[in-house]
Structure 1
Amino acid sequence: MSNVKKLNKGYEASFSKGSGCNRVRINRRFKTKTEALAFIAEQTLKHNSNGKLFRRRLLISAYLKYWLKFEKNNISEETLHTYKTTINHVQLVLPRIKMYEINRRIIQSAITLLSQRYAHETVRKDVSHLKVMFRAAVRMGDIHKNPMEDITVPTDRFRQKSIDEKVMPESDFKKIKNYLLNYDYHEKDCNRLVVLLIIFTGIRVGEALGLSVENVDFKNNSILINQSWKTITKTVGETKTPNSVRKLPVQSKVLQKMKNWRYLGHTTPDGSNGKLFFQTFDGRFLQPASINACYQGLQKKLKIVGNYSIHTVRHTIASLLLEKGADIVQVSRLLGHSSPKITATYYLGLTPDKGLNKRRTMLDMLE
């Protein structure tokens, strides 16, 4: 019988299978319970009665399914959904390749094909999932070397968004902010109100939709982000990272708009028709797609050139703050990133309408 036991420091995983002289016993210590459970799952897979020969002859997609059966208890429901997407992608580009046939050249060709069909971030997740699976396969002795080492995700220049598509010009951004701040909100303007909060705080869409009534502090003009709406499961869950739990200041005028809107539903701002602040008055939950559609509808209404998604609000806010000299650590905390490195990697950039002037200034230094 296998089990995981909590120690004073860390956890001990005990794997046991068989009986008598054929009995296998393995004990290992780990820092976290997740690592200990993953070890038990791997050993269960390794010592399965079907044996190594059976697993080596599985198709890549079949092996991934087989491995997930033992790992699913250690993976969140949202992540499990992305693994299932990876299985579909593997079936598409590696339909007949078996585990014993795989090598780096075959994998790189498959990843290149995927990058021509799907967004860069989608393929990056596929690569991440396959790395984990093949790493486990090496540990179990099913393959000798991880074929995912040094695999790169090619950038399709026709699919890759330019800085002009990720960051809205400051003048247009201010136009939307002013419009939303002076708009007279009605009962059916819930989506627009969510956009108002996002554009003034930079929070994620899921964080806005998961905002509970009790986490809106009208007295101190702030909100507490400690949960997020999960689109796949259609439930409220944990934030994206532990650092995403944060308290943020909100302009009093924005909160007043939110308070007035709740009064329209015949409920006090600190009372609740439901757990979530932005639930509609008839009890329906909002969806990220409707928030994005609302934001893009505003752009058309205000005759803003481009087609910016609601997530680009975070890119725009980060770029504007960094350009104006804000500390990158504080910007990272504002956005709820796991580390400033994420902020630097994905958000550090120049706004489109100022970048040309800065480059011109640099070149003028050579004169």
Structure 2
Amino acid sequence: MGVKIRKKGKKFYVFVNYHGQRKAKCVGTSRAVAEQVKEKLQARLALGDFGFFAAEPEALAFGEYATRWMREHANLHCKPSTIRSYNGILKLYLVPRFESVRLDGINRDAIKAMFVDLSEQGLSRNTLKNVLIVIRTILNGAIEDGIISANPAGKLGKFIPRDGDHFEVSPLTREELERFLAAALEICPEQYSLFLTLARTGMRLGEVLGLRWGDIQFGEDGNDKNRFVYVRRNWVEGQFGKPKSGKERRVDLSRQLRAVLIEQRDRCMLDAYLAGRSSIVDELVFPSKAGTPLDGGNVYARYFLPAIGKAGLRHFRIHDLRHTYASLLIQAGASLPYVRDQLGHSSIQVTVDLYGHLAPSANIGWVDGLDAIIPQQQNATPAQAATAEHNEEGLDVIETYGSPGVIRTPEG
């Protein structure tokens, strides 16, 4: 009699070999749980209980399991926007394809064929990646539940065709941004500080709508560098949640924005005092008249679009203010790691993919700069030593500033 535990990838499996009968079962990602299952199986086998070897019920069809997984997992652990996205992908792409197919009957060839068909329908690479994420996640759940032993959707990203055109952000110029802000100040002055906050922090709209006065560190004065906005929450789908990346972050507060928000804060403090409230720390910075978070759709239709029209600018999205913020920072010489931290990207690769091409255009200057440190005579030992010194210094400079790198995304 033998009951053993083995780990495959991140999963633990219990293997039983009893008088020629063999069976394996995935018990999840916890070794402690696997040890408990092992002990129970050993005790059952010692008592002559061989139910573990009994035939298991027929595997569920994909459609039935997906519905159960959404109810028991996604609806409990995912953000509303993620749930909505999962439901949409299931309805449009996965259920029509695999609804009645048994989970253990879905193989890699079937999934590859689906992506070929979807690609031929003209779906973007980003949409195809989202479809892959959903089916892979659901099938991982089936592994956790012991229904299947391997995920046929694993490591399929390389089979998703690439888009012919790479997405590039289209930020405003500094002059266009100032025209927009001036128009907003003229036609909707009560929302000017909201648009300035979007433009000077790069925060997402939901993050700005969820901002509270207690999240802002103003510093002693405009020269105090300890001034920032602490991004703690996101207002989306009528609920407060975590920022998109799942992490809180600090965003530096510019002098101009600090002055505008201090003036607004002082007005709010006076209103609170007259109303008998002693603090506004937990109050929203940009509330509706009822004191609740503003509706993003109303902000867009009632204030944002009219301001664009007043400024005489091309149509752009509220999210493009975030792209503009990043673009202006990079053009001013900010490093990509700094921009990543300000925007709250999950990795530097996201920042490079979105904004790398906006880095200062003097790309050839990095190479030309090397010419200035090459000595005219290279055949003397002292000169060679000096060259090594200068080369090391030059490499330090390149390392410090980073080389220029090269869609909206799950983290943009």
**TM-score, normalised relative to structure 2:** 0.61
What is residue 133 of structure 1 aligned with on the other side?
138
What is residue 124 of structure 1 aligned with on the other side?
129
8 Å Cα contact 1:131/1:148 also seen in 2: yes
What is residue 4 of structure 1 aligned with on the other side?
none
1:228 and 2:236 matched: no
8 Å Cα contact 2:272/2:279 also seen in 1: yes
Instruction: Report percent identity of matched pairs.
Output: 18
Residue by residue, what CA displacement relative to the aligned partner does 1:93-141 show, whole Å, maximum 9, x if unpaired? 5455443442334323434555657665454333212112223435635
1:64 and 2:66 matched: yes
Residue by residue, what CA displacement relative to the aligned partner does 1:260-305 show, whole Å, maximum 9, x if unpaired? 4872796259943973111123324212333444434322221112
Distance 1:70 1:273, change over 3 A: closer
Residue 297 of structure 1, aligned match among 283, 306, 313 = 306
What is residue 278 of structure 1 aligned with on the other side?
286
How far apart, CA to CA, are the structure 1 residues paired with 2:25 and 2:107? 33
- Which amino acid in the other structure matches residue 232 of structure 2? Q
1:216 and 2:180 matched: no
8 Å Cα contact 1:206/1:288 also seen in 2: yes
Residue by residue, what CA displacement relative to the aligned partner does 1:28-79 show, whole Å, maximum 9, x if unpaired? 7749xxx98xxx9xxxxxx99x9855325x1x23222233444347623433
Please give the secondary structure, in 2, of the residue aligned with 1:236. strand
- Which amino acid in the other structure matches residue 348 of structure 1? G
Distance 1:225 1:257, change over 3 A: closer
8 Å Cα contact 2:193/2:260 also seen in 1: no
What is residue 149 of structure 1 aligned with on the other side?
155
What is residue 200 of structure 1 aligned with on the other side?
200
Residue by residue, what CA displacement relative to the aligned partner does 1:318-351 show, whole Å, maximum 9, x if unpaired? 2332344321111111112223222112332238
1:171 and 2:179 matched: no
Structure 1: state its 5+ residue gaps. 1-12, 16-23, 41-46, 363-367
Aligned counterparts, 1:23-38, within 5 A: 30=30
- Which amino acid in the other structure matches residue 214 of structure 1? G
Distance 1:280 1:112, change over 3 A: farther
What is residue 325 of structure 1 aligned with on the other side?
333
- Which amino acid in the other structure matches residue 142 of structure 1? I
Please give the secondary structure, in 2, of the residue aligned with 1:312. helix
8 Å Cα contact 2:207/2:235 also seen in 1: no
Please give the secondary structure, in 1, of the residue aligned with 2:356. coil
How far apart, CA to CA, are the structure 2 residues paired with 1:106 and 1:98? 12
Is the deviation greater in 293-302 or in 91-100? 91-100
- Which amino acid in the other structure matches residue 175 of structure 1? R
**Highest CA radius of gyration, 1 or 2?**
2
8 Å Cα contact 2:252/2:342 also seen in 1: yes
Residue 345 of structure 2, aligned match among 337, 344, 366 = 337
Please give the secondary structure, in 2, of the residue aligned with 1:55. coil
8 Å Cα contact 1:227/1:236 also seen in 2: no
How far apart, CA to CA, are the structure 1 residues paired with 2:267 and 2:317? 30
**TM-score, normalised relative to structure 1:** 0.67
Aligned counterparts, 1:260-271, within 5 A: 260=264, 263=267, 267=271, 271=279
Structure 2: state its 5+ residue gaps. 1-11, 15-23, 38-50, 367-412
What is the total number of aligned residue pairs between the two structures?
Answer: 315
Distance 1:242 1:99, change over 3 A: closer
8 Å Cα contact 1:99/1:143 also seen in 2: no
Is the deviation greater in 336-345 or in 262-271? 262-271
Report the aligned-residue RMSD. 4.4
8 Å Cα contact 1:230/1:237 also seen in 2: yes
CA offset at residue 207 of structure 1?
Answer: 1.2
- Which amino acid in the other structure matches residue 129 of structure 1? V
Distance 1:230 1:117, change over 3 A: farther
How far apart, CA to CA, are the structure 2 residues paired with 1:209 and 1:117? 35
